[in-house]
Structure 1
Amino acid sequence: MAYSLIFPGQGSQEAGMGKDFYDAFSSAREIFLRADQALGFSLSDIIFNGPEEELRRTAFTQPAILTVSTAILECLKKEAGINPAPLSLAGHSLGEYTALVASGVLSLEDGVRLVHLRGRLMQEAVPEGEGAMAAILGLDQESVSAVCSAAAPGGECQPANFNSPGQVVISGNTAFVHAAMEKAKEAGAKKTVLLNVSAPFHSRQMRPVADQLREAFGSLMWNEPSVAIISNALARPVRSVAEIQQALFDQTFMPVLWHDSVIRMADDGVDTFFEIGPGSVLTGLVKKCRKGVTAQTCSSVQEFEALSTKLKEMV
């Protein structure tokens, strides 16, 4: 069996996530402490105690999810004694940055500082109430793209996440997103859901954020990845630092090609996917993207013990 480690993105957070790992394992506590020190404030307190509205602030959500996912992965190495050897790594949106930390491209400290900046810039890029995202269920990718073009000929609304067959997220100006939702219903969508997010991620409105992130890249220490990383923007491996940085730049305002990424990993030989981090969103999406593959979540100590056993059997 060949496996891939996948890392969740924004929306998987909840107050208290990772606390069972913090309480049970010294290696997890070390990761939370390092993140707090890197940021200069107690991210751990926000993660464990909320309140939820504080944790939902993009500038906190992004480093919080990265930290929890990294802590769980560190426990696999230090507590379970497993040196994971995945065929590839991938993350959904923010999760791609977690994959970079997991592969050694970025240190934890640089990773949390970078996504803290990314979250703040995304929040500030669009005035509150002027950007929105919505999930369109029951239409294929081409139909959703056509709906967006019809609702917003100027590009003010576009597909943002191609998550699985029949699930596409759109993003952009609030008025145009609502118009696209109506047109999607007229086109036969089973359901449209306005998402509880604070900005129109992966839309053209995020282009200024990409420019500012590129400037920030120059202040970080980058390494070549130890394992193939599947890019959200390309749905294929990126292997050099220059290629990774370009993919991150593009990812900021271009769609997340998650469905195609899963297909690529499966075509490369991956038959098992382990989701490392809070929630189980990606586990569900993987199963919809490719029949016959196995997907397993690791977001609690109980799930960690089950995953540790399975990985030891695979080594």
Structure 2
Amino acid sequence: GLLEAEGAFAAEAARIDTEFQKIAGWSIIEELLRPEDRSRATSTVVAQAGNFLVQVALCAELAELDIRPATVVGHSAGEVAAAYIAGALSLHDALLASHHRARLQATTAGTGGMLAIGLPADTVRELIAEDQLVDIAAINSPTAVTLAGNETRLDEIAAPLIEDGVFAKRLQVEAPYHSHLMDPILDELRNVLTELQPTTPHIPLYSTVTGTRVTGPDWGADYWCDNTRHTVRFADTIRELIRAGHRVFLEIGPHPVLGANIREILRAAGETGTTIGTLNRKQHDTDSIRKILADLYAAGVLDIEGMFADLPTPTPHLDLPTYPWQKTHLRTEIPLNQLHLYGTPDSYTTLGDQDPEDSLRWQLELNMQVLPWLADHRVEGTRLMPATGYLDAALSAVLARTESTQAGVADVRFVTPLAIEDGQMPLMRFELEESTHRFTIRSRKTAGTAWTVNATGRLIEGAYDQIKAEVPPTYTMTEIDPATFYTTLATIG
């Protein structure tokens, strides 16, 4: 959308693409405009060049609206765009670093993989100890670490974690970035980037290689080798930014991916802040730009006077005609009281009401009038919440959060049965971890205070691999009369 709008984004993209073609011999814009069925955007070489172009052109689009960064930080390949925006590299040098970094990384495709784990970094270090087959590739938040290395070893590490209910997921990537498997390309990378001429950044720039602010013209060939090989210290760097007083983070890119990590770091630091995305794959680019303006304004950092400085003096406010008041009483309910009295309109039945003070928590009163099917689910006379109830609550949470037509759950464990005694209406609470998408379902008796864990699992939001079950042919099946079936179930309780 932005490429075809002929605004600042498109103009900057064309300028970048012209310079890039001199280096690489192919067009980034041509690749970005390919139909999806013929797109190569997921390949390392195209993805990193495409990200650079989108990030830098977005900054140009925002600058037209007088939105400029106070400080810049990049994540992994994003450091190339950060270097250019902050003034540490010229456009030619930044594109040179971006192209050769991606080109050489692509040569390691298939040599290893990556694994995301929902544990603290210290725990992960103890887990892998002196393991020579894997490395910590990135530390993105207090409970989000990525490993890279030998694929078989990664699967061995993941298996017991998943069994224990810990988030562990293999990433769909071409190469084992930020691991020892990058070592074979470092000498050539250093050679092709020898002529880089870094300068001291004119906008404050922080490094996710060192976790500190850049103070000189340090981002030459050796730095980009470190950037390619070493752990991405994103969590450490964001902590430094928070300590420096920063509270509003604008994530520049084709889709927000780091917002949850930043929010977790803010919470761990005991600070309140805001994370704002730019483009979003689920909405039109024009809507995304408008939303950036709204979100920055709501965060209190949008310079309204600067944006409209060139406009003529606005018309002064005029008094509106008076209104013929009806003089009727108006009762305004406090939102929390409304929730307690009426619940949430059109809420998902098994998920319940969203906590007005915590968007990652829902609570449901197990009431026979609302959930009449609970009365039917008995085992040896005890009424139980069925497993499908937990699954429905989890799937409902995905739909409530994303409005996506695709929803899934994984790694589900049923821990403790939820018994519903006659005359009781226990509470069931659904809680979600933003960074790992892990969920926990707990319950307590109506008058009780102790919460019991009933089920755990992980939500899958967006596209995912669907597993198709093989259905046996009908001639191998035996038809059972429903009345006989239920009689048999009743006989065994």
TM interval, short-chain normalised: 0.7 to 0.9
Residues 13-43 of structure 1 show CA distances to partners (whole Å, capped at 9, x for unaligned) of: xxxxxxx222224322222222322232221
- State the partner residue of 1:281: 257
Residues 180-224 of structure 1 show CA distances to partners (whole Å, capped at 9, x for unaligned) of: 2224346x4522111000000000111233333222332233222
1:165 to 121, 142, 153: 142
**Offset of 1:154 from its aligned partner?**
4.5
Give the distance between the partners of 2:89 and 2:205, measured in 1 at CA. 13
**Relative contact order: is structure 1 or structure 2 higher (C-alpha 8 Å, sep ≥ 6)?**
1
Structure 1: state its 5+ residue gaps.
1-19
- State the partner residue of 2:33: 48
**Offset of 1:53 from its aligned partner?**
5.6
> For the Cα contact (< 8 Å) 1:123–1:198, is it kept in 2?
yes
- State the partner residue of 1:101: 84
- State the partner residue of 2:158: 181
**Offset of 1:306 from its aligned partner?**
3.7
Does the residue aligned with 2:148 lie in a helix, a strand or coil? strand
Give the distance between the partners of 1:261 and 1:52, measured in 2 at CA. 38
**Residues 1:92 and 2:75 are matched in the alignment:** yes
- State the partner residue of 1:298: 278
Give the distance between the partners of 2:238 and 2:159, measured in 1 at CA. 30
Once the two structures are superposed, the pairs formed by residues 8-87 of structure 1 within 5 Å of their partners are: 20-40=1-21, 41-49=26-34, 50-51=36-37, 54-77=40-63, 79-80=64-65, 82=66, 84-86=68-70
Once the two structures are superposed, the pairs formed by residues 261-272 of structure 1 within 5 Å of their partners are: 261-272=237-248
Task: Say which one has the larger Rg.
Answer: 2
**Offset of 1:48 from its aligned partner?**
2.6
Give the distance between the partners of 1:202 and 1:133, measured in 2 at CA. 10
Letter in 1 for 2:106: Q
> For the Cα contact (< 8 Å) 1:90–1:230, is it kept in 2?
yes
Give the distance between the partners of 2:104 and 2:234, measured in 1 at CA. 23
- State the partner residue of 1:8: none
> For the Cα contact (< 8 Å) 1:76–1:308, is it kept in 2?
no
Distance 1:238 1:207, change over 3 A: farther
> For the Cα contact (< 8 Å) 2:144–2:261, is it kept in 1?
no
> For the Cα contact (< 8 Å) 1:147–1:183, is it kept in 2?
no
Give the distance between the partners of 2:194 and 2:252, measured in 1 at CA. 28
1:144 to 124, 134, 138: 124
Give the distance between the partners of 2:239 and 2:305, measured in 1 at CA. 22
Letter in 2 for 1:223: T
Structure 2: state its 5+ residue gaps.
280-284, 307-493
Deviates most, 67-76 or 208-217: 208-217
Distance 1:25 1:282, change over 3 A: farther
Does the residue aligned with 1:237 lie in a helix, a strand or coil? coil
- State the partner residue of 1:193: 169
Does the residue aligned with 1:111 lie in a helix, a strand or coil? helix
More helix by share: 1
2:203 to 214, 219, 227: 227
How many pairs were matched up?
286
Residues 226-280 of structure 1 show CA distances to partners (whole Å, capped at 9, x for unaligned) of: 1222111111111212266544322211111111111110001101101111111
Distance 1:161 1:76, change over 3 A: same
Q: TM-score scaled by structure 2?
A: 0.54
Letter in 1 for 2:116: A
Letter in 2 for 1:169: T
RMSD: 2.2
Q: TM-score scaled by structure 1?
A: 0.83
Does the residue aligned with 2:245 lie in a helix, a strand or coil? coil
